[in-house]
Amino acid sequence: MSAETGNTLQSTHHATVRSYVDFGNEQELIEILKDPLNYGIFLDDFAANILNLPPEPPKAEEKKKIEEKKIRVKFLRNYYHDDHFDIKDLMLLSGKTLAWISRNNKDNVSNNLQIIGWMYYKKYDSLLTLCENFKNLKSFKIYSEVIELLQKEISKCEEKESLEKCISFLNECPKADGILEESIKNLIEDAINKTHKNDISSQQKLFENWLSTREEKLNEQIQRLSRAQRIVEVEKKQKELEVQEQKLWFFENEEKIDLEIENKEKLHTSTEKNDIDVNDENYIPPEILPKRK
């Protein structure tokens, strides 16, 4: 970001996201959005909705043998993992996101998603505490898909005992009707039906405000440019008038002009006399007398 980033219009963020998506440069856009402090692009609700597109399946890349390079170092830094920005595993990152987002809602679907989130986040202590709390919650109902995911995770992780306890707690809970994926779709459709009219009207007003703001900024820029151009023209006209004045009043000011020329010549000759070449063979340095007491 530069000093001019503060003058960026809100429409710039929206236009940037839209143009990158339209031209199929999603990967470059992701790199920009991952580093907002350097690129100065921040998402709002409407720009984030543009990004809500089904991803294309990644192309299988041929694995190349990587040559190991060993570098001798003087010391090793103490390992530190902040459990946030240092997370590189997409499953861990997705699990943390799902766990944190779903805990803000208290409906049954969000509770089931919170279990899945803590499981993929591999925070088994928090998962065990959560399952024990849900066992005592009368309104909670467990989906069979959640238990199946926990059973699959047992074969992959080392802390099997914690996951087995979680499954035993959840088996005591009443079973939810239907499929978890269908329940999520129904919640999304309900949310869309409730908010899409307000979102559309808000976005229309936002576009109108952006257009008016753009016109205001454009008019201000035109005024600044015209003002600067007028100043340049006035200065140019003043110089032309000074030249014309000298031509018109030349004979009246002839003596004054001659004096100025004469003074300049005297100044030039005096500087030439004082400019003595020290490297000259005939140069005699001045005699320095001692100070009188």
Residue 142: beta bridge partners?
A: 175
**What mean pLDDT is predicted for residues 107-132?**
92
pLDDT digits (tens, 9 = 90+) for 179-202: 999 999 999 899 889 888 898 899
| Residues belonging to the chain | 293
**What mean pLDDT is predicted for residues 104-113?**
91
**What mean pLDDT is predicted for residues 127-152?**
91
- 4: pLDDT strictly greater than 80: no
What pLDDT score was predicted for residue 189? 92
Three-class DSSP category at 70: coil
- 1: pLDDT strictly greater than 70: no
Contact (Cβ atoms closer than 8 angstroms) between residue 13 and residue 44: yes
User: What share of the chain in percent tops pLDDT 70?
Assistant: 86
| Residue 116 one-letter amino acid | I
- 259: pLDDT strictly greater than 90: no
Residue 247: beta bridge partners?
A: none
pLDDT digits (tens, 9 = 90+) for 200-227: 899 899 999 999 999 999 999 999 999 9
What pLDDT score was predicted for residue 29? 85
User: What share of the chain in percent tops pLDDT 90?
Assistant: 35
pLDDT digits (tens, 9 = 90+) for 46-66: 777 776 666 667 777 777 777
Dihedral of the alpha carbons of 277, 280, 282, 288, in degrees to the nearest 10: 60
What pLDDT score was predicted for residue 104? 87
For 181-211, b where at least 16 C-beta lie within 10 A, e where not — what string? Answer: eebeeeeeeeeeeeeeeeeeeeeeebeeebe
| Residue 97 buriedness (CB in 10 A; 0-12 / 13-18 / 19+) | middle
What pLDDT score was predicted for residue 280? 56
Contact (Cβ atoms closer than 8 angstroms) between residue 118 and residue 99: yes
What pLDDT score was predicted for residue 22? 84
pLDDT digits (tens, 9 = 90+) for 163-178: 899 999 999 999 998 8
Separation of alpha carbons 115 and 166, rounded Å? 10
Tokens of 269: 């000759």
Q: Which residue has the higher pLDDT, 264 or 123?
A: 123
Separation of alpha carbons 121 and 240, rounded Å? 77
Separation of alpha carbons 168 and 154, rounded Å? 13
Separation of alpha carbons 52 and 26, rounded Å? 12
**What mean pLDDT is predicted for residues 73-93?**
81
Please, which pLDDT band fits residue 42 given cuts at 50, 70 and 90?
A: confident
Three-class DSSP category at 175: strand
| Residue 278 buriedness (CB in 10 A; 0-12 / 13-18 / 19+) | exposed
Three-class DSSP category at 142: strand
Please, which pLDDT band fits residue 74 given cuts at 50, 70 and 90?
A: confident
Tokens of 166: 């979680």
Phi and psi torsions of 196, nearest 5°: -70, -35
Structural domain boundaries of the chain? 8-50, 90-178
